[in-house]
Amino acid sequence: MITTIQDKECLYKIDISKPLDISIPLRATNNNVNAWYITAPKIEPVTDGDWIGKVSEGASTNFNNIYFNPHGHGTHTECVGHITREFYSINETLKQFFFTAEVISVNPEKKGEDFVITKSLLKELIHSSTEALIIRTLPNQDEKINKQYSHSNWPYLSEDAAIYIRELGIKHLLIDLPSVDKEKDDGKLLAHKAFWNYPKATRFDATITEMVFVNNAITDGNYIVNLQIASFENDASPSKPILYKIIEST
């Protein structure tokens, strides 16, 4: 089904019957993707005395509680409230859901014991003016769907790279890592703060989405992204970003 999306400058035709899901599903298993030293998520039926909320146990419906952390258990979208003393909600921050987007594949630079996404790399790879940037790190392997990231020293954005993304006017940053920052950085959060321009001139309408998975079948280039969140009044929500190829723009 062909539909049209409009921004301030262009009309874009997309086929909404051909979505490209770049989210990671949340599963109640130790193989669920995991970061930040927490246990696996749980999905389990409510119990009340002898009653168990599960059809196979005699209930009329399946009635599960879900225990998870959006930052550690899968694809999630966060607002500046993730790093502020004051409370800000992603549900109040994100009010539009379709954006122009560019997918880029980045081979982080080796710097000492770290792998870093630098400004110089991004300057070579970002080719368009876009509202959202989606960073796929290389090598890109299926193990990202269930990787145990704790104590792995994953690649991260340099502060200059985050500033560069901000200066390009990109409002929505998506990456296939647990954080845009170094795993153990003594709480500096340099990339988060640089992207949101916090606290000098905070970009309250900007978001960061982490732990996406961009399948290798998805080529680098321009797309429309539908950034879907659950309506949590929290700094972050599990999310389901969906890409659509642009058929035509005018």
Establish if 197 belongs to a structural domain: yes
Mean pLDDT, range 78-89, rounded to an integer: 98
What's the pLDDT tens digit per position in 114-141?
999 999 999 999 998 999 999 999 999 9
Establish if 62 belongs to a structural domain: no
CA dihedral 59, 62, 66, 70 (to 10 degrees): -170
Establish if 219 belongs to a structural domain: yes
What's the pLDDT tens digit per position in 204-231?
999 999 999 999 999 999 999 999 999 9
Residue 9 above 90 pLDDT? Answer: no
> Position 12: which residue type?
Y
CA-nearest of 101, 135, 102, 132 to 116 is 135
Query: What is the total residue count of the chain?
Result: 250
Q: Say what the pLDDT of residue 153 is.
A: 98
Q: What is the domain-level CATH number for residue 137?
A: 3.50.30.50
Strand order in the sheet with 114-117: 109-111, 114-117, 156-157
- DSSP letters for 93-117: H----EEEEEEEEE-PEEETTEEEE
> Position 243: which residue type?
L
Q: Say what the pLDDT of residue 5 is.
A: 86
Q: CA-to-CA distance for 122 and 193, rounded, in angstroms?
A: 18
Q: Per the structure, how many domains does the chain have?
A: 1
Establish if 168 belongs to a structural domain: yes
The token duo for 200 is 């000098």
**Mean of the per-residue pLDDT values of the chain:** 97
CA-nearest of 194, 181, 107 to 149 is 181
Residue 155 above 90 pLDDT? Answer: yes
Q: Say what the pLDDT of residue 158 is.
A: 98
Contact 35, 149 (CB under 8 A): yes
Establish if 200 belongs to a structural domain: yes
Mean pLDDT, range 150-174, rounded to an integer: 98
Establish if 117 belongs to a structural domain: yes
Q: Say what the pLDDT of residue 240 is.
A: 98
Quote the pTM value. 0.97
Residue 8 above 80 pLDDT? Answer: no
The percent of residues above 70 in pLDDT, for the chain, comes to 100
Q: Say what the pLDDT of residue 245 is.
A: 97
What's the pLDDT tens digit per position in 33-80?
999 999 999 999 999 999 999 999 999 999 999 999 999 999 999 999
CA-nearest of 182, 165, 154 to 104 is 165
In which domain, by residue range, is 194 found?
2-25+72-249
Which letter, b or e, does each residue of 47-71 get, where b requires 16 or more Cβ atoms within 10 Å of its Cβ? eeeeebbbeeeeeeeeeeeeebbbb
Residue 203 above 80 pLDDT? Answer: yes
Q: Say what the pLDDT of residue 20 is.
A: 98
Strands 207-210, 236-249: pairing is: unpaired
Establish if 115 belongs to a structural domain: yes
**CA–CA–CA angle 86, 237, 80 (5° rounding):** 35
